[in-house]
Amino acid sequence: MWKLLRKHISASQLVGFSIASLIGLTIVILAVQFYQDVKPVFSDEESFIKKDYLIVTRRVSTAGTLLGGKNEFSPEAVADIQSQPWCRKVGKFSSNDYGLYATVSVSGVGQSMGTMLFFESIPTEFIDVDSRDWKFDPSRPEVPVIMSRDYLTLYNFGFAASQGLPQLSEGIVSKVPIQFTLRGNGLNETINGRIVGFSNRLNTIVVPEQFMQWSNKRYGSGLERNPSRLIVEVNSPGDVKIQRYLDDHGYQVAGDKMQQGKSQYFLNLVVTIVIIVGIIISLLSFFVLMLSIYLLLQKNTRKLQDLLLLGYSPAQVSRTYIGMVVAINVAVLVVAIVVMLVARLCYLPDLKALGATGGTVTVAIVVAIVIMSLITAGNILAIRRKIAALWLHGA
């Protein structure tokens, strides 16, 4: 049967389909794989669904400063941010409402340092340091503290270097006892403290909310104040809707998180466009193959009808063309995966130089298999329908 039906097969048309399908599929899976490999460059977290946080404040203006304005967030403003579609959660920064002085003594050096200080607290769910000591018990007052890692860097390479003081590692600093002197409401008391971790997310000095509430009530006014800073968990910090909202309300974001988010946003946009282009090419190649098969079936109409009249079933007749299509699609799938892996080997060293370890190739391979399975299923369905129509017409 194959010898009888293959006479009108156009090799050039099949080669054209194969090349177009190969280009389209390779573009899609290479874009998917490149996104998997480059994603860690824009993310500090390794989870597939990354949490992004923005520290939001109001802009400080000269007019507002002269008029004594307060850059605080009212409950209505917080609720409005929470209601935005790009916002997942909002946390409020609370600060100390009393005088605070910290003293650090480094044993073996014979020197101590003291400075005026401040505390802030946020809900525990926004803390990026996992510590068992992150709790406060008023009956045994010791303050656990999380400090920005940038502060330690400034001390080691700025203050310590200029003053001839020793540089300290995170492990050593965590063991150094600190004394906090709290003043307010006629009280002047000293409480021991200890640094339990360093944060990359929070550029501040954080204490547990339980301690902040207890100390503000004991040494401060005890009144709840509107926050001057918010930590906002968002879907994507580079979303243009976020920037537009912040500009319209006079808010600003601390650090370069928005710039990093914009880079990731544009990466997602470019990858999406490339994938769409690849899918369009794949669809066009699908229609090219279907057109070639329809033309081939049209040329073999008489032969096909004769075979059907001789007792061959439509399934038997269509099996010849289905086998040809499956063989071509499997070959395209294998070659596309090989091309993707070779291209990945070319760009991966440059990504590793940027700190990316590279993602798994499983996702791209699964995408390739799914696309070619759908295309093959469409081809098979079209062939069977066309031959069934010829059988009905001949009958």
CA–CA distance, 104 with 107 (Å, rounded to integer): 10
What is the model's pTM? 0.57
pLDDT at 278 over 50: yes
Question: Do strands 178-184 and 142-148 pair parallel, antiparallel, or not at all (unpaired)?
Answer: unpaired
pLDDT at 172 over 90: no
| Greater pLDDT, 333 or 307 | 333
Q: Length of the chain in residues, anyone?
A: 395
pLDDT at 109 over 60: no
pLDDT band for 287, please (50, 70, 90 cuts). Answer: confident
pLDDT at 68 over 70: no
Per the CB < 8 A criterion, the answer to whether 120 and 207 are in contact is yes
Per-residue pLDDT, 182 = 93
Tell me the mean pLDDT in the region 16-44: 77
Instruction: Write out the two tokens for 82.
Output: 């929470």
Those residues with Cβ within 8 angstroms of residue 357's Cβ, 6 or more apart along the chain or in another chain: 40
CA–CA distance, 29 with 281 (Å, rounded to integer): 13
Ramachandran angles phi, psi of 70, nearest 5°? -110, 125
Tell me the mean pLDDT in the region 245-261: 74
Instruction: Write out the two tokens for 32.
Output: 């998917």
Mean of pLDDT over the chain:
78
Lowest mean pLDDT among 135-139, 208-212, 253-257: 253-257
| Greater pLDDT, 34 or 101 | 101
Tell me the mean pLDDT in the region 128-154: 84
pLDDT at 190 over 70: yes
What ranges make up the beta strands (E) of 129-224?
142-148, 178-184, 187-199, 205-206
| pLDDT tens column, 299-319 | 666 666 566 666 666 666 677
| pLDDT tens column, 347-386 | 888 777 766 677 788 988 998 899 889 888 888 887 777 7
Lowest mean pLDDT among 10-19, 132-141, 218-227, 243-252: 10-19
Tell me the mean pLDDT in the region 117-136: 85
Q: Mapping DSSP to helix (H, G, I), strand (E, B) and coil, where does residue 328 land?
A: helix
pLDDT at 254 over 90: no
Per-residue pLDDT, 180 = 92
pLDDT band for 48, please (50, 70, 90 cuts). Answer: very low
The structural domains of the chain, with segments of one domain joined by +, span: 2-44+262-394, 52-255
Per-residue pLDDT, 65 = 47
Per-residue pLDDT, 321 = 74
Instruction: Write out the two tokens for 245.
Output: 């909202």
Per the CB < 8 A criterion, the answer to whether 322 and 380 are in contact is yes
Per-residue pLDDT, 47 = 38
Per-residue pLDDT, 125 = 86
242 closest CA partner among 87, 361, 19: 87
**Within the chain, where are the H helices?**
2-5, 11-38, 62-66, 75-82, 149-154, 160-163, 170-175, 209-219, 240-249, 257-299, 301-309, 314-353, 362-394
Which range is most confident: 69-73, 157-161, 181-185, 323-327? 181-185
Per-residue pLDDT, 294 = 66
Per the CB < 8 A criterion, the answer to whether 251 and 56 are in contact is yes
pLDDT at 79 over 50: yes
Share of the chain above pLDDT 90, in %: 18
| Greater pLDDT, 220 or 17 | 220
Share of the chain above pLDDT 70, in %: 75
